[in-house]
Amino acid sequence: MACIGKWTLLMSIALLCGCSAILGQSEKRKVHVVYMGNSHANPEKATSLHQKVLAKVLSGKEEVARSMVYSYTASFSGFAAELSTIEAASISKMPGVVSVFPSSIKKLHTTRSWDFLGLSTTSDHGLPTGGSNVIIGVLDTGVWPESESFSDKYLPDPIPSRWKGTCVSGDSFNSSNCNRKLIGARMFPNGYEQNFGPITGPGEYRSPRDAEGHGSHTASTAGGSSVQHASLFGLAEGTARGGTPTARIAAYKVCWFGSCTDADILAAFDEAVADGVDLISFSIGGSPQDYFSDSIAIGAFHAVQNGVFVSSSAGNSGPSAYTATNLAPWLTTVAASSIGRKFTSSIVLGNNLSYKGVALNTISLSNPWYPLVSGEAIRNASSPLANFAKYCYDGTLALDKVKGSIVVCYGGVGAPDATVLAAGGAGVILVDSFDKSIGFAFSLPCSVVGNADAKHILKYINSTSSPVANILPSITTVDDSLVPQTGIFSSRGPNVITPDILKPDITAPGVDILAAWSPVSSISGESIDNRSTSFNIISGTSMSCPHVTGAAAFVKSFHPEWSPAAIKSALMTTATPLDGDKKFNKDGELGYGSGLISPTKATDPGLVYDADTTDFALFLCGLNYTSEQVQLISGFSNFSCPQELPSMNDLNYPSIAIANVHGSLNKSIIRTLTNVGFSGNVTYTVHIQAPKGVSVTVSPSSLNFDAPYQRLSFHANFQANSLPSEQLYLSGALTWTDGLHVVRSPVLIWPASSTVQ
């Protein structure tokens, strides 16, 4: 019988320990978020708890200190730390932990708009009345404090005494950059730096200063001061202002070089709530996740729980269905739509024919004519990518043919304007039907045309030995009769996490929006473009989101006591559907939600669908969260999910969605309305616009309110033997009216077999 000596045994143990250590060290630790639910009463005890949890998987105080990135203690409990996959899995099984997830990277969703929305200016200096006590927090790329949009010239009132925030110092930024308008500015770089290393070098400031322009644009759209004669080199000239120009602004920089980590986002949410903001504008997003493995949903939940309204962008992945992001029901998710304004740049050919393209072309060509060539015809035959010459891809063009010429390029690959400019070209005619509805800035004279016009231009090139052309500067065309349309880029529903919650919630102007800009940031996004401006015109749900923040701030200035859900309801139920017959908006409510915001109407909605943490706790039960999980999230220590789990449809939401209907339909829902209108006796009657083929009954059909803030409920039943097979989804509406107020809720139904396009 063989036996093992003690040295052999000890050597085996040493080898096993060594191998284990090597295995533990071979996986590089990554930043994870450990979410532990509602905040503790004592922040110091919360931080101590976080350290103890971390110490259970790490060895020693020094390793715990090195690993810890953030400790979240103000509005919720949790921490961000560098963990291996095994360590993260171990923590996820510990008592008191709701979820553990990697800190992923989120991305930015990149004057006249407020006039278009009917928000009048009624006080001195053209500022809407009220609002100076409302504080808007903007989580974004920072702020350019010297912009006129952040001037406190017309804000004589002192900063609200409840404000607890501050202005932190950093690169080219200190406390003197804040004032009575920009009352706070913080930065959150830890999560980014743990992933990518120190923030240094050109192109970024390690401070709240905005090097990108996006944060200044969104902040000024939400609550910027009025600035007369604002324009992008003469385009869209007028008065630029936020939805509530007298509101205070606090900037929270969470994005660095265009990337925004979950760890930094959660730290900013936590700090903003502690600072005392009333609203948060968040124009950032990522892929939809389970709500409590999603930094945005987590941060927003606890912000709303603390009375802070949160608006978020739906995303720029349209026009495909199921692309909307930021889907939690406590978020107000915003789509983007057009306004009655276009920027056109004419292309004049040597045969005296002209074609009207779309672009933000602010550059005048000095000569009357320039040689006109097609990128495909001047390909660099020696390039391995010569087949991409049609797209003017870098390295695919014969440089001697480009110099001094206007080049016809097709969109879709690379940055043709930068390629042509670098080669000494004079301009670009870009062929791209997708982008023809939106004005973009380019690094040299450029105009965008569709395929039909491109055929005529190419035919002209082939018809003569010396084709020539010119591209004229853009002009602004205003036509209020134009029907607002959902931006082609704007992400569409349905909601991929909870289909019975309609998303997006609402739409607002997000196409060709003029607002403040960082003068060190490229206008066109190309590093070769060195033009500088204080205002820029850009598009995206990033631009529509702060419109809703500004509108919500306007409503809150009239009703400071209203909950975030009440403000959201007021905005949604007073919104205007973009076009009833869906001639211009074929995706209907899946594109624009309840419709286009109307801020003035939202100040007097009559009734609201209110909701609080208890409502959301029951909603989570319906999503199969356990009672213990809901207790941690909500902070309700004695909460228990009911034995019969609630339906998603019964959340007191301002819109109604019934998804995945199999065969026949027989669905009842309940809603509760709160009277925020007349203090006397008032009766509301329901008007039903039934979806095609669906029978809808509402009981009671009238609601009699005799006191302010009285709550009354109704049941709505939806029945159908079968849903029309020729339609992908069915839409209708339930509208309550007292003859003065109109409280409208869109209704959307789609069968399980439907593939929404």
**Residue of 542, 544, 655, 745 marked active site:** 542
What 3-state DSSP class applies to 276? coil
The candidate with the shortest Cα–Cα distance to 232, out of 523, 527, 539, is: 523
**Residue of 39, 99, 113, 140 marked active site:** 140
- H or E element that contains 268: helix 262-275
Phi-psi region of 143 (alpha: psi -120 to 50; beta: other; left: phi over 0): beta
**Residue of 40, 109, 214, 302 marked active site:** 214
Q: Tell me whether residue 741 is one of the annotated catalytic residues.
A: no
Cα separation, 636 vs 619, whole angstroms: 14
Q: Tell me whether residue 532 is one of the annotated catalytic residues.
A: no
Cα separation, 90 vs 88, whole angstroms: 5
Both tokens assigned to 732: 């209708």
Cα separation, 305 vs 197, whole angstroms: 35
**What separation in angstroms does the CA of 516 have from each of 231, 241, 406, 716?**
10, 9, 31, 46
Tell me if the bond preceding 473 is cis, omega within 30° of 0: no
Beta bridge partners of residue 732, listed in sequence order: 747
Cα separation, 466 vs 457, whole angstroms: 13
Q: Which residue, chain included where needed, has tokens 């084709």?
A: 467
Cα separation, 730 vs 74, whole angstroms: 44
Pure H helices in 375-503: 399-402, 416-422, 451-463
Contact 315, 285 (CB under 8 A): yes
Both tokens assigned to 595: 């419709």
Q: Tell me whether residue 542 is one of the annotated catalytic residues.
A: yes
Contact 344, 510 (CB under 8 A): no
Contact 641, 626 (CB under 8 A): yes
Residue 711 per-residue DSSP state: E
Angle between helices 262-275 and 295-305 (to 10 degrees): 10
Both tokens assigned to 631: 């207790």
User: Which residues form the catalytic set?
Assistant: 140, 214, 542
